[in-house]
């Protein structure tokens, strides 16, 4: 059987072949049969998806649904069917910063695959964008947090720092709605690395230069000593999610 490119470019020579030597074109049934008999690696999966897009089969027709159901690919933990994928990461936004070694849902197309495509191309398969809010919500699931302490941002200072840095890096590109949803996920959770360990955003304080009283009170301050140094851009993000910039007036009255 011949690919579409060969069949098109070599049409003159193919038609000149004797009847008994005719070479049939690859049909969708041939593709489906091949996919059912072979588990794809990353390179093959990228090529398969690219073929679907360039061949004009990006719409969820019955053929596309059959193709997604027939294809399986390798990923850590075993093979997974392509039809179980529902999300993708924007390779130009979150894809640049999201820690690939951290816990990600099985319904997410691997970053090693999505980085080869644009959002519009990935959306043609019926997949939705996996946003920073989606990521935070996944990380905060009880089963995900309890699976491995090093990926629990309420117990691991290192992981909490990485999660917050990722959020801060995409902060300027987030809508007000996504910022609010991100804040809700982190509300009241001990996820801010401070001089007193991990504290909730509402119970943490951004550093104030040359404020002797601020430091004398021995408050949980986000600082270099906590292993999480922040710049001005990060301060805007942290302040929005609840980290305090100043002491409450009533707090000072009780000192």
Task: Please tell me the total count of domains within the chain.
Answer: 1
11 found inside a domain: no
Provide the 3-class DSSP secondary structure of residue 146: helix
The sign one gets for the Cα dihedral 16, 19, 23, 26 is positive
120 found inside a domain: no
pLDDT digits (tens, 9 = 90+) for 146-192: 999 999 999 999 999 999 999 999 999 999 999 999 999 999 999 99
pLDDT digits (tens, 9 = 90+) for 57-103: 444 456 777 888 888 888 877 888 888 999 999 988 898 899 989 99
CA distances from 67 to 32, 115, 143, 169 (A): 6, 21, 32, 37
pLDDT digits (tens, 9 = 90+) for 4-13: 665 565 566 5
DSSP H stretches of helix in the chain: 4-9, 11-15, 28-36, 42-54, 62-70, 111-114, 119-123, 132-139, 142-147, 157-170, 176-186, 212-216, 232-240, 249-253
246 found inside a domain: yes
235 found inside a domain: yes
244 found inside a domain: yes
What range does the domain containing 184 cover? 137-253
Token couple for 48: 């398969």
pTM of the model: 0.80
How large is the average pLDDT for residues 30-56?
Answer: 81
231 found inside a domain: yes
- Whole-number average pLDDT of the chain: 82
CA distances from 61 to 14, 31, 128, 213, 239 (A): 30, 15, 17, 67, 47
Report the share of the chain in percent with pLDDT over 70: 76
151 found inside a domain: yes
172 found inside a domain: yes
């Amino acid at each position: 059987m011949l690919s579409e490119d060969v069949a098109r470019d070599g049409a003159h020579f193919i038609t000149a072949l004797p009847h008994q030597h005719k070479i049939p074109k690859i049909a969708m049934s041939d593709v489906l049969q091949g996919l059912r008999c072979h588990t794809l690696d990353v390179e093959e999966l990228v090529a398969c998806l690219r073929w679907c897009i360039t061949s004009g089969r990006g719409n969820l027709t019955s053929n596309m649904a059959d193709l997604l159901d027939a294809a399986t690919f390798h990923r850590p933990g075993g093979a997974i069917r392509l039809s179980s994928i529902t999300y993708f990461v924007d390779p130009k936004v979150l894809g640049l910063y999201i820690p690939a070694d951290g816990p990600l849902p099985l319904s997410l197309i691997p970053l090693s695959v999505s980085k080869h495509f644009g959002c519009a191309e990935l959306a043609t398969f019926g997949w939705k964008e996996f946003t920073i809010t989606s990521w935070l919500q996944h990380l905060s699931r009880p089963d995900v947090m309890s699976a491995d302490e090093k990926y629990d941002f309420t117990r691991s200072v290192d992981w909490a720092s990485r999660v917050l840095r990722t959020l801060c890096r995409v902060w300027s590109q987030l809508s007000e709605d996504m910022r609010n949803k991100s804040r809700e996920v982190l509300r009241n959770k001990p996820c801010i690395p401070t001089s007193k360990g991990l504290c909730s955003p509402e119970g943490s304080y951004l550093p104030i230069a040359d404020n002797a009283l601020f430091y004398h009170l021995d408050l949980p301050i986000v600082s270099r000593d906590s292993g999480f140094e922040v710049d001005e851009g990060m301060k805007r993000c942290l302040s929005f999610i609840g980290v305090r910039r100043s002491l409450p007036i009533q707090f000072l009255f009780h000192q």
